[in-house]
Chains A and B, each alone.
Chain A
Amino acid sequence: MIPDSLRKELAARVREAITPREAAVDIMKELQRHSGWLTDEGVEVAAELLGLSPLQVEELATFYEMIYRRPVGKQVIHLCDSISCWCMGGERIMEQLREKLGVEPGGTTTDGRFTLIPCACLGNCGEGPTMMVGDTLHGRLTPEEVNDILCAA
């Protein structure tokens, strides 16, 4: 359930915008922050707040890489698979994560702790290979460091 307090907060954000739908990404992100992912209820609430149809919100939600329309783990691991990280051994890090977490790319661990998602360049190219766990960037990864980061996360 999306609480009334959050709805009010979001309605205030929409009022600040030059046109309501300008706030669409902010609203989707806040609803995602609340539920961990953008739930069906979240899409309905966003549509109501933004004056859009649920389908229009869906069109936006499925466009953005970092809006999740399926449940994800407590922490989402985004591993960069673009060129700078690739040439510094990014594929090895993906192998390590798959093995360690026991999931394929896109999957969530059985304990619900982690979701593993390969992603586009994270803008940390000088320090490849790079991954983002939650909001935190980790660069110059080695397979050993990946283990440490997972344990600490």
Chain B
Amino acid sequence: MEQVLFRHNRPGRCITFAEYRSQGGFGALTRALRELAPLDLQQLVMDSRLRGRGGAGFPTGLKWSFVRRDLPGPRWLICNCDEMEPGTYKDRVLLEANPYSLVEGVILAAYALGVPHAFIFIRRGYESAAANLRRALAEATTANLLGENILGSGFSCHIDLHLSAGRYICGEETALINALEGKRANPRAKPPFPAVKGLWGGPTVVNNVETLANIPDIVANGPEWFRSLGATPDAAGTKLFCVSGHVQNSHCFELPLGMTLGEIIDGPCGGMKPGRSFKACLPGGASTPYFTREQWGIPMEFDAVAKAGSRLGTGGIVVFDEETCMVGATLNLIRFYARESCGWCTPCREGLPYVRHILERLEGGRGEPGDIDLLREQVKYLNYAFCALAPGAMGPVDGLLRHFQEELREHITLKRCPFGGRG
């Protein structure tokens, strides 16, 4: 299978600047600065049909095109490496193996957007990824691929690393902007969207690590090539799928976008662990409704997954075997979200602990028949939250209600968890 983002990787270590360059690295930047106008580069990314790899899947070129270029003051670019969605570790794997594709991608995006100063926002716990990036930025600066008057083109760009200190909400783009400004990371109201009014009030683009790391190869090989990498006509590019849970090989794989769930689990993942069988999975990280055997043949690309009632999200697939209590799993997820709520708005601050309470009751054998309806109501109410955290949190609850109602009822009638969970 064609490897793009992992093409440069060497087993067990991070590649060097010289290795990246000898494989054509920074060639796309050199060419773009010489041959492409910023808007041509933006058009190229639009034509590639690259969609954001951070969770929402918004078309990257389109996002760039929303940036107001006629306002006074600087524009900003932020790379979101606050990878804290449970089940997601692709950006860490990418950066631990190769920080250079991202650095080149950030400079290219900055050139397309006319941004003189970009930031990479990186989470706590990714210390070795941050160290790789710091080295890569220094090497790129020394080689005049970053900094003032890059390769004599007249374009200057600086990249700062911001090392965060934990908290899931920092990954929400407007919360991230507040965090970067040194403010408490509560989300901001949208509109205005960051493309109009973001960091320090200037037009701002926030893109995920994997999204930006794809840009150099799109520039080098063209949008048609990129579109041809997908497994279905609707899917463009490869995707980093990071798999965890009860599969034989729980690693991060670069696969064609649109491979089916079954092909991913039976193929690179080597199937389930010995003696275990597949029950369900989170298809795209902690905030996505479960898939079951019924969705085995769904192509793992944005539209097909959405049509099947879930979200491709980050591509973090968490696989559960038949011994897993889905009420217990959902309770674990809701505990995470209740703890990570920033507390800014009432539906999220009050609603998530209430949902946690209901699930604790059910898992602890103290559930009542009305609890299922209560949960269903909350799935609706939490959509009134200020940002996407609470509706995302209710994704697995929604999946639980749709796919595992029998299991929920069993908890109520038996007055205990059939899998031995204590709640």
Contact = CB atoms under 8 A, between A and B. Distances in A.
A21 B245 CA distance: 40
B166 A25 contact: no
B182 A82 contact: no
B270 interface: no
Interface in B173-187: 179-185
Interface string B320-356: 1000100001001101100110100000000000000
B126 interface: yes
Contacts of A23: 182
Contact of B86 (A21, A29, A65, A125): A125
Nearest to A78: B125
Interface in B74-95: 83-89, 91-92
Contact of B282 (A66, A83, A120): A83
B163 A123 contact: no
B71 to A, nearest CB: 18
Contacts of B316: 125
A18 interface: yes
A123 B333 contact: no
Contacts of A124: 89, 92
Interface residues of A, number: 40
A14 to B, nearest CB: 10
A125 B127 contact: no
B106 to A, nearest CB: 17
Contacts of A87: 245-246, 318, 320, 324, 329
B189 interface: no
Contacts of B63: none
B357 interface: no
Nearest to A126: B250
A120 B84 contact: yes
Contacts of A83: 86-87, 282, 286, 318, 329, 332-333, 336
B243 interface: yes
A60 B250 contact: no
B182 A120 contact: no
Contacts of B163: 25-26, 29
B242 interface: yes
Given A84-B244, A87-B324, A29 B183 contact: no
B86 A82 contact: yes
Contacts of A64: 164-167
Interface string A54-74: 000001100111110000000
Nearest to B323: A87
Contacts of A121: 84-88, 168, 286, 336
Interface in A90-116: none
A128 interface: yes
Nearest to B162: A25
Contacts of B342: 63
A11 interface: no
A125 B242 contact: yes
A120 B83 CA distance: 11
Interface in B238-274: 242-246, 250-252
B193 to A, nearest CB: 22
Interface string A27-49: 01100000000000000000000
Contacts of B168: 120-121
A25 B167 contact: no
Contacts of B339: 120
B336 A82 contact: yes
B164 A25 contact: yes
Contacts of B117: 18
B125 A67 contact: no
A6 interface: no
A28 B165 contact: yes
B138 to A, nearest CB: 15
A60 B182 contact: yes
A19 interface: yes
Given A19-B200, A25-B182, A82-B332, A123 B92 contact: yes
B135 interface: no
A146 to B, nearest CB: 19
7 contacts: A21-B183, A60-B184, A63-B167, A65-B166, A120-B167, A120-B168, A120-B340
Interface of B: 83-89, 91-92, 117, 123-127, 162-168, 179-185, 200, 242-246, 250-252, 282, 286, 316, 318, 320, 324, 329, 332-333, 335-336, 339-340, 342
Given A121-B336, A123-B92, A123-B126, 20 more contacts: A19-B182, A26-B163, A59-B184, A64-B166, A64-B167, A66-B124, A82-B87, A83-B87, A83-B329, A84-B244, A87-B318, A87-B329, A88-B244, A120-B167, A123-B125, A124-B92, A125-B86, A125-B242, A126-B244, A135-B127
The 5 A-B pairs of least Cβ separation, nearest first, read A65-B166, A21-B182, A82-B86, A64-B165, A125-B244
